[in-house]
């Protein structure tokens, strides 16, 4: 997998985890029972998201299934000196990789720690790219418990074996161009450009040729525009299922599906492939 497509995957995870961290939940966040409950939701959300990305082959992830070393959520509770107090599911990771993860945390946490307020959840992302032919992403939620003097990290670790030389490049070298294409994608999606004819017409007003445009789209996102658009619709619908109280009809309308029945059928197809049922979090969202 190229660095560009791996970055697209981790961006999607970041968007979901950031929204998860911002859920308005009325709970005693200092309670050990709540913290385990919160991790269980995080684990369910991140696992379902990963399985969904595999299901629709987002950013060609399914084609690289044999290279996936880890797609694992875990929780760590640390003291103020970053010493481990408790863990959940961290034992599922091999000792050598645990050591690598702990090095990343020790290098980055002290700086991040200073800028994050206590007693609320934050989205946090660690830099673990460019290490020994691996593409890896590490991100999740951060909670500094002022009452217990603890730091609670719920994290998702994605690690792919990689032999491509581009994994050693500066990760920002292409981001400006990608941002331009994402801005253009959002404009096209908002204007409901859903066919090749509509796309050709929309691009002509911007002086862009369809072949060049689609080639760049494949480079940044793994798909030509129309195929990518279908996958983004599914991801948007999943986001709304997770993080809003909207009805399935409202979600289908917002995401451009023909009916709620059609959307629910997509979810049922996902679940019939052996994946866990998609969970709604509206029962814990405080309004």
pLDDT at 168: 42
- Of 279, 275, 249, nearest to 264 by C-alpha is 249
pLDDT at 166: 47
Please return the burial class of 69, using the count of CB atoms within 10 Å of its CB with bins 0-12, 13-18 and 19+.
middle
Q: Are 177 and 112 in contact (CB under 8 A)?
A: no
231-235 long-range Cβ contacts below 8 angstroms, 24+ apart: 231/56, 231/58, 232/185, 232/189, 233/257, 234/52, 234/56, 234/266, 235/12, 235/52, 235/53, 235/56, 235/58
The DSSP letter of residue 168 is G
Antiparallel, parallel or unpaired: β 134-145 and 122-126:
antiparallel
pLDDT at 111: 82
Structural tokens at position 116: 């994050």
- The Cα–Cα gap between 108 and 155 comes to 14
Please return the burial class of 41, using the count of CB atoms within 10 Å of its CB with bins 0-12, 13-18 and 19+.
middle
Classified as helix, coil or strand, 36 is helix
Q: How far is CA 147 from the centre of its chain?
A: 30
Q: What is the mean pLDDT of each run of 10 residues along the chain (287 residues)?
A: 87 94 86 92 94 95 93 95 94 92 88 84 83 78 93 95 55 64 91 92 93 90 94 94 92 92 91 82 62
pLDDT at 165: 47
Q: Number of helices (H) and strands (E), helices first, in the chain?
A: 9, 5
pLDDT at 192: 87
pLDDT at 59: 95
Q: Are 231 and 58 in contact (CB under 8 A)?
A: yes
Q: Are 110 and 132 in contact (CB under 8 A)?
A: no
């Amino acid at each position: 997998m190229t660095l560009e497509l791996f970055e697209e995957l981790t961006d999607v995870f970041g968007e979901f985890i950031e929204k998860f961290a911002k859920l308005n939940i009325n709970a005693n966040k200092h309670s050990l029972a709540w913290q385990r409950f919160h991790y269980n939701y995080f684990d369910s959300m991140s696992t379902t998201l990963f399985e969904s990305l595999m299901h629709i082959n987002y950013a060609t992830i399914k084609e690289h299934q044999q290279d996936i070393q880890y797609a694992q959520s875990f929780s760590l509770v640390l003291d103020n000196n970053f010493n481990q107090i408790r863990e959940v599911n961290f034992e599922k990771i091999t000792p050598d990789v645990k050591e690598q993860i702990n090095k990343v945390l020790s290098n980055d946490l002290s700086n991040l720690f200073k800028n994050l307020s206590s007693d609320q959840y934050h989205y946090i992302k660690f830099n673990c790219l460019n290490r020994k032919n691996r593409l890896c992403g590490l991100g999740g939620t951060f909670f500094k418990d002022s009452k217990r003097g603890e730091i609670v990290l719920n994290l998702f670790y994605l690690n792919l074996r990689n032999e491509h030389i581009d994994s050693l490049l500066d990760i920002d070298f292409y981001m400006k161009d990608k941002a331009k294409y994402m801005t253009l994608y959002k404009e096209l999606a908002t204007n409901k450009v859903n066919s090749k004819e509509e796309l050709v017409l929309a691009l002509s007003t911007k002086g862009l040729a369809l072949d060049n445009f689609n080639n760049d789209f494949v480079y940044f996102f793994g798909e030509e525009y129309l195929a990518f658009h279908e996958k983004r619709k599914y991801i948007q619908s999943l986001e709304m299922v997770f993080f809003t109280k909207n009805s399935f009809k409202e979600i289908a309308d917002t995401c451009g599906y023909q009916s709620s029945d059609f959307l629910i059928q997509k979810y049922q197809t996902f679940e019939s492939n052996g994946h866990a049922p998609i969970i709604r979090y509206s029962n814990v969202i405080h309004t």
